[in-house]
Structure formats: structure tokens, C-alpha cells
Structure 1
Amino acid sequence: MSSQQIIQPVVDLLGQPDGPRERQLIWGEQVTVEGEKGGWSQVIAAKDGYTGYVPNVALGAPAPTTHWVSALATHVYTQPDFKSADLRSLSFGSRVQVLSQGDRFTETSEGFIPSSHLSPLETQMTDPVAVAEVFLGTPYLWGGNSRLGIDCSGLVQASLLACGIPCPGDSGPQERALGNYASPKGSNYLRGDLLFWKGHVAFVRDSETLIHANAFHMAVAVEPLQPAIDRILAQGDGPVTAHKRLT
């Protein structure tokens, strides 16, 4: 086994070579390579232990990372000038190595990034719902983990990891791992609570609304809380299976 690093802005993590997408990994994430075959590597994601396959070209030697992209997305430029050529776009949560910092642009090992779009690795946000709100309007993508597309569990994971809270990648393990059961169903909804259905998860935004990435809106959206619960039940996806509160 060996340690490697993701060197593509977004790469699908597949259940098997050339198989369906299970999740995604983004620039700078660390993985452990368990084996290689036919241009594919079987990897374990450091952030959550998720196992899958990525193409070998998506991996590079591990390098120190010092900062993370705390804007919804950013561009990497060839020069410290917004009119210079951009090399790639990086999503929220991507990790980079800073070489020198300026007022407007920061030099990284990959190019120049607007300084306001980066935060030191040790910087943690404090409100997962506020992080989720940053993603409002992001297209829904099954198994997605980036600004280009995200699903319900990807949104919850990105929001919690940004606040320093460990989080699995899928809604089922999230339901089992996160928080304590809250008050009886239908009462005392607080910001940051998690509502689970079979195969779905949403944040309570306040006592009357929730925020989630969902296939009904095909986007990250804010929705009235009880009407959303009623809609999901009516469309055949079942009742809320758990109301959990992070502690």
C-alpha cells in the first residue's frame, strides 16, 4: 500500500473499474492505494474510509498541503492577475500548498489563487448549515461531492467536515454515526438537526425550513420543512426514519 494524492479537480470514485460512480474525490485529498490493475487504482479515502477505484492518472505523489478552498469555487491562474490564463477550477474543500501570500493573490504549487478564497487548514467553520447555504443552487448529482454537482449526503459531509466534524460519505452510515436522537418526531426542530429518510438526508435550517440537495429540485434548495416531509412521503420515498441532533 502507498499514500497518494488526488491531482484532478474532481474524480469519480467507482465501485469497480469502469463501473458506476459511488462518490467523488477532489483536488488535494489523500488516499491510500491498495492495489493497481489495468490503469485503475483501488483506494481508501483518508477523510472517511470510503473505498473505490479511480484512474491512475488522477493520482500523484503526496505533497504538503497548507490551505483549503473555503469559497464555493475558485480558479487557479498562471499569474497573480485575474486577466491571466486560468489553469483549472477548484471546488470548496480542495487542498493546496501555499508558497507565498499576497493581498489579492496567493501563490500555490499549482498557480495563483485569490487570497480571499483560501483558509489555513486549521481554520474551521462553526455552522454546518451556513456551509450548506453556500452550496445553494448547486446542481444535484448522485454521488457528487463538488460545486459541479452534489447529492444529499455529499452536502452534509462537506458541511460537517468544514466544521471539523467527522462524517461518513453516505446517508445510511451518517444516520448511524452522527449525533443523538432528538425530541419526539415533529417537535423542537433546531438549526443543524439532521432529518433522515431511507436513502436521503437533510439539514434543519430553522423551525420551518430545511436545506438539502435533492432530485425534486435537481439542486441544493431550501424548502418548507413539513411540506417537504409530506412531499417525500407522498412521492413514495417513505417517512422520516430519524431526527438527530449533533452534540
Structure 2
Amino acid sequence: MTDRRRLASTGQTALRSLMGQVEGVSFVDGTPARITAPVADLHPAPDHPKRDRQVLYGADVTVIEVQADMSFVQAHSDGYVGWVRSDALGAPAITSHTICVPASHAYSAADLKSPEVMALSHGSRLQITGAEGAFFQTSEGWFVPRPHIRPANKPMTDPATVAQLFFGVPYLWGGNSVWGIDCSGLVQAAFRACGIDCPGDSDMQEAELGDLLDPKEPLQRGDLLFWKGHVAMMVDADVLIHANASTMSVAYEPLDSAIFRIGSQGDGPVTSRRRVTRPL
């Protein structure tokens, strides 16, 4: 494992599981934590403004090193590493539910007129401890509308339906939330909601997801098309959905038009087509 995006080492400190694989570092067990901000950016260095990816509220992480107000973490869901603001971290908790609509709010009381505590993106994870009226109560004492959450052990069944929830969301490089998402973030959100493990970036997804399709195989809903640095999902045999820089949003596009447009702008042909089968 040499890809820095999933290498649990800062060059000074590494997880003990990497003993024998990296040298010149101090090894630690790491400290379990949880993301407690609505969304947190993962940076390649503690003082680097670039965003590699994002992690959402409730995501489990392991803290490997702390420098000033930044912490180097590894996300449990996909192994992605990066530096996050330490004030975005809290104590670990066993989450039981996930936000299943594009976005919701956590409220201070079980009353739609009560002040909201924070916004929550699709995919945020919560520990539910009770219910009151039309709301579920979280372990933090907040309240979330019942229709907006789903038990984490009852995943959705159609990744394309999840991807379509993000229609119109603005494009954001490295984004993973309803406030901004990129092509691989959209695919990851879609498959995760259906209980399918999915890496964070399109090159990883092309290498690791599903089965390669013959170019002559008819495409169907949920199939993935890859270009160099880009991924899209089919909603039927002729139309795809993707987060793209052309519209700067999550948008539908006819398959033939997308292939022509992407090729004509210099980004090359489709590099592969893949089909991911949901586990039974």
C-alpha cells in the first residue's frame, strides 16, 4: 500500500498495522473518533488548502497524529486518509441510522419551529436513542424528522435512485455532500447507501468496483462508465447522470452526447464500462 490517499502514515507516525511496510516512523494504535461537523475536508497536509475528499457527520475515523489544530485521520468506510480540523472530531459512537434524503436538519426540540442545530447531508450517520412525535431523538439530544432517516442495517436497493437524489447539486472538486459533490463522490454516495463498499476516487473505483463489461454489452441502469479522471452512472440504456464540470452540477446527459463532448474537449474515450452487483 503506497498510495498516499490510503496510506495511514504521515512520514513521522503510522498505524501499527503498517509495521514492516514503512520505515523511519513511530508506530501507534491510533485513537477512535467520529466526525462531528456537518462535513469535514480531508487535506493532504496540515497546512495545505487543497481538499482531497470529504467526510460527513457521524463518520468513524482513526486519529493517527495531531499537529496544533489539525489531526491526521483514516476514514473507516473507505480507508482514505488526510488532515482534518481537530474541532471537527468527537468521541466515537455506534451509529444506527443514516440520512436517506438529500438533506435534513437536526433540531433543538421535537418541533419543526424550533431552532435548527445543524444541517445534515445525505449519508450522515446518527445514533438514535428515542422518538417523540414526528421526530427521532439522537444521542446528542437533537431531533431529526422521521421521514429523513433510515436504519443503517436496511440499505437502499438501487444506486441510480440514490444518485438521482443529487440532481442539481453543485459540482465541487473532492466534494461528498449535498452542498457540493464531484463525479466519484456521487458514485460513492450511491453505492454506500446500498450497502456496497466503494473507494473514494474514480481511478480507484475503476480498478476495484464490479465487473468489466464488454464494449458490446448493452448498458443498463446502475452501470458505470469511466473516462480518464471521470466516472458516470447510467440511469437507463441511453442516459447517464454525473457530477461534471461542464454544467458545474449533477446533471443528466444522453450517453452519445457525453461520449462525444468529453472526447472532443480532449479528455479521451471511455476507458471502461463496469457493472456492480449488489450483494445478497
Structure 2 letter corresponding to 1:90: L
Of residues 167, 170, 176, the one that matches 1:139 is 170
What is the rounded CA distance, in whole Å, between the counterparts of 2:53 and 2:83 in structure 1?
A: 10
Calculate the TM-score normalised by the size of structure 2: 0.86
1:115 is matched with 146
Query: What is the root-mean-square deviation of aligned Cα atoms in Å?
Result: 1.0
1:213 is matched with 243
What is the rounded CA distance, in whole Å, between the counterparts of 2:131 and 2:86 in structure 1?
A: 32
Residue correspondence of structure 1 range 183-202 to structure 2 within 5 A: 183-185=214-216, 187-202=217-232
Contact 1:17 1:53 in 2 (8 A): yes
Structure 1 counterpart SS, 2:235: strand
1:181 is matched with 212
Residue correspondence of structure 1 range 86-165 to structure 2 within 5 A: 86-110=116-140, 111-165=142-196
Structure 2 letter corresponding to 1:162: A
Q: How far off its partner does 1:146 sit? A: 0.3
Q: How far off its partner does 1:181 sit? A: 1.2
**Residues 180-219 of structure 1: CA deviation (Å, up to 9, x unaligned):** 111225x411111100011000001111100000110111
2:31 is matched with 2
What is the rounded CA distance, in whole Å, between the counterparts of 1:31 and 1:150 in structure 2?
A: 21
**Residues 100-135 of structure 1: CA deviation (Å, up to 9, x unaligned):** 124411111231110110111101011000000001
Contact 1:151 1:213 in 2 (8 A): yes
Residue correspondence of structure 1 range 64-83 to structure 2 within 5 A: 64-83=94-113
Structure 2 letter corresponding to 1:28: G
What is the rounded CA distance, in whole Å, between the counterparts of 1:18 and 1:25 in structure 2?
A: 18
Structure 1 letter corresponding to 2:245: A
Q: How far off its partner does 1:18 sit? A: 2.6
Structure 2 letter corresponding to 1:10: V
Q: How far off its partner does 1:64 sit? A: 2.2
What is the rounded CA distance, in whole Å, between the counterparts of 1:157 and 1:231 in structure 2?
A: 24
Q: How far off its partner does 1:66 sit? A: 1.3
Contact 1:102 1:115 in 2 (8 A): no
Q: How far off its partner does 1:79 sit? A: 1.1
**Residues 136-194 of structure 1: CA deviation (Å, up to 9, x unaligned):** 01110000000000000000001001111110000001000011111225x41111110
1:169 is matched with 200
Structure 2 counterpart SS, 1:192: coil
Contact 2:110 2:133 in 1 (8 A): no
1:27 is matched with 57
Of residues 79, 84, 89, the one that matches 1:59 is 89
What is the rounded CA distance, in whole Å, between the counterparts of 1:74 and 1:91 in structure 2?
A: 6
| Structure 2 residues not aligned, in runs of 5+ | 1-29
Structure 2 letter corresponding to 1:148: W
What is the rounded CA distance, in whole Å, between the counterparts of 1:238 and 1:184 in structure 2?
A: 16
What is the rounded CA distance, in whole Å, between the counterparts of 1:14 and 1:90 in structure 2?
A: 21
Higher strand fraction (1 or 2)? 1
| Structure 1 residue ranges (4+ consecutive) displaced by more than 3 angstroms after TM superposition | none
Structure 1 letter corresponding to 2:76: A
Report percent identity of matched pairs.
52
| Structure 1 residues not aligned, in runs of 5+ | none
